[in-house]
Every structure is written in structure tokens, then in C-alpha cells.
Amino acid sequence: MHTGLSSTQILDDPVVSHPKVLSEPLYQLIDFGDGKKLEKIGGVIVERTSPGANCSVAGSPLWKSVDIAYRDNRWHYLSSFSRRLDWEGWQGTQDGITLRLKATAAGQVGIFPEHWLHWPWFQEQLGRLTESTDDPPRVLHLFAYTGATTLALAQQGYHVTHVDASRPTVNWARENCERSGLSHLPVRWIVDDAVKFVEREVRRGNRYSGIILDPPSFGHGAQAERWQIHRDLLPLLHQCWKLRDEEKGFVLLCGHSPDIRLREIAASLASVHGQSSVESNSIQQAFLEDSFGRKLDCGYASRYEW
């Protein structure tokens, strides 16, 4: 996958005063298969489980050079290089945005590179939304995680409301903002349950030109609210629809739940809100391309604009 060259910085053992700087893409998918994927993330070779990797591996020799691997629901540090890393200082830069990377208990590292493929589309939307006004468009970003897309939007010129139910995750996103030197940009950082926040915004009469959602299959809200995507996604989308700027705007829905029927969701939105054009929105498979040119299924993305 081509994402543009970025600078990657890994801080060595704390006794070493000069950081090691690598000029390479922040993220590369190297190989996948047999239920796992091989990635190079900020100069570190990472092996992780991947439900979409239901084929045979292509056979990259880098499988023998793994630094860290997520196996049996825990991380394994396999090289002297990885054991010497100061993980709090592991970071990389993507399109001018500096992101802290960290091996989490859930097997994540703080980034979802498949989301970066939407950033050029946001730039296109910005041009369309500002054709006849100087006012920056407002975007609501729900389930916003560690903030890479939030910062990309703010950098492009949007005013962004970043909502996530996890306080540590929002703190991580704010740290990414500070590391990127973007603290001056207009971002509201909200720790809240997405459903409750949207309901309050509807009551307040607030409107947004853009709404972005990346809901998990299951989750917990800020006050231990339980999220189940098959039960809660469609009602949330109906509420989000009430927040749309009526003149023009866009919605992006991303996710990884394999049995979500996006066309049925679009049809339901159309029937309730009288927007027949919703049925013709752009629904696409999300994927990343490995070094052999093969595509790894990374879930779905549904784009709608009006």
C-alpha cells in the first residue's frame, strides 16, 4: 500500500542520547495468511492475528525476523532489538502527523492504516463544502480512537469533535496532537459514550457537515454502557442523520464486523428519512495491499455525500 514517505523515529535504550531515525513509510503490510499478518510499523517487524488472512502466506523471509508477535492473546518480544526499545518513545509520522505507537493488551498498536485511504476524500469534500463560504466545516468523529484521522481532518481545515468512551484513549489522541505540533488546531476532545453524546447533540440542535463512525462489534461506554453493533448501530445512525447539515455534507461509516449488511442499513435510512439517494451510496470493501500485491480484507467502508 502506498501511503507516502514518512519519517519514523524509534528511541533506543534510555542511556543512548541520540534517537535512531529511519526514512521509510510508517506502515507496510509485508505478508499475510494462516490467520495472521506480517507488518512493518515504525521500523519494527510485527506479527499479529488477522481474521481476513484466510489464505496461505506468500512466504516473505521476514517471518523469520519478527521483533514482536501477538500470539495467544499476549505479546511476545522476540528480538534483542525489541527488548531494548523504550516503547513509550516508539513513534512514527504519517502525512505530517506524529503518532505514538504502543503494543496494547488487545493486540493493537494505535493505528488503523486502512483509514488513511479516506484522507484524500476528506480533502475533496472540504473543497466542495467551502465553495461558497469561508466558514470551516464541522465534523463529528465517533469511536475516534487515538486520533490519526481527527488530526488529518483538523490539519486539512475542519473543526473536529473527537468522541471516544475511553479516557486513556482520548489522552493518547491528545498526546498525538501535541507530538504533531497541532495543539493550536480546533479539536474538541470528548470522553463520552457515542450514543449518549449524539442524543444530547440532537437535543441541542447542533449540526455537522461531516460525520465519521468506526464502531466496534462490542464495547463499553464511559459509564459502563454496553455497545452491541447489531443492536445499536442502526438506531445510532438514525440519530446521527438528525445532526446532518441539511445543505450538503458527508458520512463515512467504517467497521470490521463481517456480517453487517450495509445496503440494508442504507435502505432503512432512506425509508425513515425520505432520502432515496442513500441507497446509491458508495459501499466498498476496505483492504491493504501487501508486498506481493495481494489484498488483505480489512472490513468495510460506506461513504455517502449530499
Q: What is the pLDDT of residue 85?
A: 63
- Do 140 and 270 reside in the same domain of the chain? yes
Q: Distance between CA atoms of 290 and 113, rounded to whole angstroms?
A: 12
- Do 159 and 193 reside in the same domain of the chain? yes
Q: What is the pLDDT of residue 255?
A: 85
Q: Distance between CA atoms of 52 and 296, rounded to whole angstroms?
A: 6
Q: What is the pLDDT of residue 230?
A: 82
Report if residue 251 sits inside a domain: yes
The total domain count for the chain is: 2
- Do 137 and 228 reside in the same domain of the chain? yes
Sheet holding 97-100, edge to edge: 20-23, 7-10, 91-94, 97-100
Name the domain boundary from 100, 121, 137: 100
| Domain membership of residue 78 as a residue range | 7-100
Report if residue 275 sits inside a domain: yes
Cell digits for 127?
A: 473543497
Is residue 175 packed enough to be buried (19+ CB in 10 Å), middle (13-18) or exposed (0-12)? Answer: middle
CATH, residue 42: 2.60.40.1180
Q: What is the pLDDT of residue 227?
A: 80
Q: Distance between CA atoms of 211 and 269, rounded to whole angstroms?
A: 15
Report if residue 108 sits inside a domain: no
pLDDT per residue, tens digit, the chain (306 aa), is 333 323 333 333 222 222 333 447 899 999 999 999 999 999 899 999 998 899 999 999 999 999 999 999 999 989 877 776 655 558 899 999 999 999 999 999 999 999 999 999 999 999 999 998 889 999 999 999 999 999 999 999 999 999 999 999 999 999 999 999 999 999 999 999 999 999 999 999 999 999 999 998 877 766 667 888 888 888 999 999 999 998 899 999 998 876 677 677 767 666 666 655 554 577 788 899 999 999 999 988 888 888
- Do 47 and 194 reside in the same domain of the chain? no
- Do 53 and 124 reside in the same domain of the chain? no
Q: What are phi and psi of 12, to 5 degrees?
A: -75, -170
Report if residue 185 sits inside a domain: yes
- Do 49 and 175 reside in the same domain of the chain? no
Model confidence pTM above 0.75:
yes
Report if residue 145 sits inside a domain: yes
